[in-house]
Amino acid sequence: MSSLLSAELAATCNALGYYDAKANKYYADSNTLETVKDLIRYLRKDDENHEIRRHLGETKVVETDLLPLLKSYWEETELFDVLLRLLVNLTMPALMLWNEEPPTEKTARNYYLQIEGHLQDYKQAFADEAVWAVLSTRISKILEIDYAERGDENGLIIERILILIRNILYVSVDPDAERRPDNDASVHDQVLWSLHQSGMLDIILYISNSTMEQAYYMHVLEVLSFMLREQSASELANAALQRSQTEKLRDEAELLAIRHRESGQRQQKLKAFNGTRHSRFGGTYVVKSMKSISNNELIYHKPLSKLESLDFDADKQKVKTPKNRLPIQSTSAERRSAFSIRLFLKEFCIEFLNGAYNTFMCQVKRNLMRAKSENHDESYYFWAMRFFMEFIRCYKFEVKLVSETMSVQSFHYVQKNMEDYFDRISQDKKKIRPWSRRLHLALLAYRELLLTICAMDKSPLDSVRHSAKVIKSNIFYVLEYRELVLTLLVTFDELKMSGSYLNDLIECQHIFLKMLQCYCDGGKSDIMVQKRAKAKKKSKKAREGRTASEVDRRVSTRPAETDLESRWDEVGPQLSIVLEGRAEIPDDLVPFDAASEVPIDDQKTETMKNIQRKLRANELEQAVG
């Protein structure tokens, strides 16, 4: 960055205002509004290395100026709007700045990691209840206005606030740098707690419940996915006010395993420093019945307890595997949050399922189907399907709460997208990892559909069990559903798919086979397989006799020429009446089938024969039609 541009940015940031520590208040300058607009213009003219964005992150203008300014002057509408635009711009994910492809070049990679570090600092700064209280107050006042009278400006403010929430929750904090154990409040948990205390989560629930706010459903879906991405649906559903005996035993087992691991590491260090005499003068050994290159007995410089331990590659330099040949590593982001965080997230999920899930998911799917021509991502939809269906299955199973995503149409939608993702993996070589991740999410949704059917089979209600039987009759008899998981299992590639994907794939196939076994057991619902009947060969004499009899029958049934002429004289006047349009001709007659594989010429010959049959049967209207 040039010194002139750096000086301009420093002067612009200083012109925003100052913070008075004694009064605990931020005082804006007389030209603060124009200064914030200047920062937006600077970001708009930023280069491909994002120098201005990185400079603003290094000066910590968000923590020291923008957020205090927002908390102190949120009632000024124009200043609030401009500040919101600037915050949305500064918190934009780093991956979007590089067109959703992490840079591989060394310098660009360094810039990328630098912006990631700034975003993590922003997330720590947004763990402030006062900031979210200001935003929730502003958005609640706008939502009180009727949708028809709200206007585009207020609609943009709602959308920007939801995008800001999405940007902050999207930032992934490094667990090694944070060093937070399970059951402790991480930075992500602190942001969630601030959202809960400020009432922002209640506003998100209201938007998802309201049919008038369908324009913001996709933003809400992204917020939900990033908000609950570190949570396990089963553990969240089983969270209670008191720890269960299972949780206590699990925590004790984890602590005991950590203690054994630490003691083992300590003993290894003691052996390394206080071990026996070194074995550098241990001599050489001769391997019997094995010749070396010189046809002498093989000499080895280490003692061998087993002949299988003989290794000639120990001192060789290992061949480095290229980056494009490395197997995909699966990273699990799940962790146990603090107890209070899990409790209010559980209540949030229950309220969402009771009041919004079915209508919300229906509208989201409709939006995805409409935007199919665009490069839209359905992974958020599959994540929500998997998470909330697993939550309700582990909490108090009521299939009516997830009826929108529990149908044959849902199976078809997931299966179709899984096949599309699998094809994209082999076609789009540069984006194998994103397509593989989306395939994994779709597989998890498919597995949860199967597990929900298993839960429906155990329901005490006959209607629920009957619905499960209808769905199973479709997925067991339709070839695409039956062989989907098996095809993915056969075509697994460790270079394109992760190990956790393989585990889930095997588990999904196991669930499917167990369901098929239970469906066939009992004799009431056996799978019927139709075999092709083989035609019996007949003797030559029988074929000759049948051919002669058919020829005689055709000759005997063929009318004479005189009969045809007399018949034509009778039908002629009636046919003229039909051709003149004085008789009603049926509209449902199709002389040619355009979708048929039979050529048009062959269909033309068959149509002429049909016309002759209709004329002889005195069905003149159908013959003309």
Selected residue with higher pLDDT from 501 and 180? 501
The listed range with the strongest mean pLDDT (3-17, 158-172, 243-257, 558-572) is: 158-172
Give the pLDDT mean for 504-520: 91
Q: Rounded to whole angstroms, how far apart are CA atoms 572 and 416?
A: 57
Buried b (16+ CB within 10 A) or exposed e, 247-257: beeeeeeeeee
For residue 89, name the pLDDT band (cuts at 50, 70, 90): very high
Give the pLDDT mean for 582-594: 64
Nearest Cα residue to 335 out of 264, 489, 232, 484: 232
| pLDDT at residue 374, as a whole number | 58
Give the pLDDT mean for 380-385: 94
Give the pLDDT confidence of 21-56 residue by residue, as tens digits: 888 888 888 888 999 999 999 999 888 889 999 999
Tell me how far CA of residue 27 lies from CA of 135, 291, 370, 454, 476, in angstroms: 20, 87, 48, 62, 69
| pLDDT at residue 168, as a whole number | 95
Mapped onto helix, strand or coil, the DSSP state of residue 590 is coil
Q: Rounded to whole angstroms, how far apart are CA atoms 133 and 126?
A: 11
For residue 572, name the pLDDT band (cuts at 50, 70, 90): confident
Show the 3-state SS of 105-140.
CHHHHHHHHHHHHHHHHHHHHCCCHHHHHHHHHHHH
As a whole number of angstroms, the longest Cα–Cα distance in the chain is 124
Residue 227 has pLDDT above 50, yes or no: yes
| pLDDT at residue 238, as a whole number | 85
Give the pLDDT mean for 281-287: 74
Least confident of 8-12, 181-185, 207-211, 424-428: 181-185
Q: Rounded to whole angstroms, how far apart are CA atoms 445 and 484?
A: 14
Give the pLDDT confidence of 101-144 residue by residue, as tens digits: 888 899 999 999 999 999 999 999 999 999 999 999 999 999 99
Q: Rounded to whole angstroms, how far apart are CA atoms 16 and 69?
A: 9
Under 8 Å CB-to-CB from 87, ≥6 apart: which residues? 62, 66, 70, 164
| pLDDT at residue 555, as a whole number | 46
Give the pLDDT mean for 1-17: 86
Give the pLDDT confidence of 515-565 residue by residue, as tens digits: 988 888 755 555 555 555 565 665 555 555 555 555 455 544 455 555 667
Q: For the chain, what percent of residues have pLDDT higher than 70?
A: 84
Least confident of 147-156, 161-170, 326-335: 326-335
| pLDDT at residue 170, as a whole number | 94
Give the pLDDT confidence of 392-412 residue by residue, as tens digits: 999 989 999 999 999 999 999
| pLDDT at residue 130, as a whole number | 92
Give the pLDDT confidence of 94-111 residue by residue, as tens digits: 999 998 888 889 999 999
Q: Rounded to whole angstroms, how far apart are CA atoms 135 and 84?
A: 9
Q: Evaluate whether 135 touches 161 at the Cβ level (below 8 Å).
A: yes
DSSP conformation letters of 474-514: HHHHSHHHHTHHHHHHHT--TTTS-HHHHHHHHHHHHHHHH
Selected residue with higher pLDDT from 448 and 377? 448
DSSP 8-state assignment for residue 91: T
Q: For the chain, what percent of residues have pLDDT higher than 90?
A: 40
Domain ranges, ordered by start, for the chain: 3-207, 406-520, 562-624
| pLDDT at residue 194, as a whole number | 94
Q: Rounded to whole angstroms, how far apart are CA atoms 208 and 85?
A: 24
Q: Rounded to whole angstroms, how far apart are CA atoms 445 and 439?
A: 10
Backbone angles phi, psi at 93, to 5 degrees: -55, 140
Residue 87 has pLDDT above 60, yes or no: yes
Q: Rounded to whole angstroms, how far apart are CA atoms 568 and 562?
A: 10
Q: Rounded to whole angstroms, how far apart are CA atoms 272 and 278?
A: 11
Residue 76 has pLDDT above 80, yes or no: yes
Q: Evaluate whether 208 touches 227 at the Cβ level (below 8 Å).
A: no
DSSP conformation letters of 43-89: HHT--TT-HHHHHHHHTTHIIIIIHHHHHHSTTSHHHHHHHHHHHHH
Selected residue with higher pLDDT from 529 and 152? 152
Residue 621 has pLDDT above 90, yes or no: no
DSSP 8-state assignment for residue 289: E
Q: Tell me the β-bridge partners of 297.
A: 291
Nearest Cα residue to 17 out of 78, 102, 83: 83
Q: Rounded to whole angstroms, how far apart are CA atoms 365 and 356?
A: 14
Task: Provide the H-helix boundaries in 325-407.
Answer: 339-355, 357-370, 379-394
Q: Rounded to whole angstroms, how far apart are CA atoms 484 and 498?
A: 18
Give the pLDDT confidence of 427-484 residue by residue, as tens digits: 888 888 889 999 999 999 999 999 999 999 988 999 999 999 899 988 888 888 888 9
Residue 449: half-sphere exposure toward Cβ, Cα within 13 Å: 27
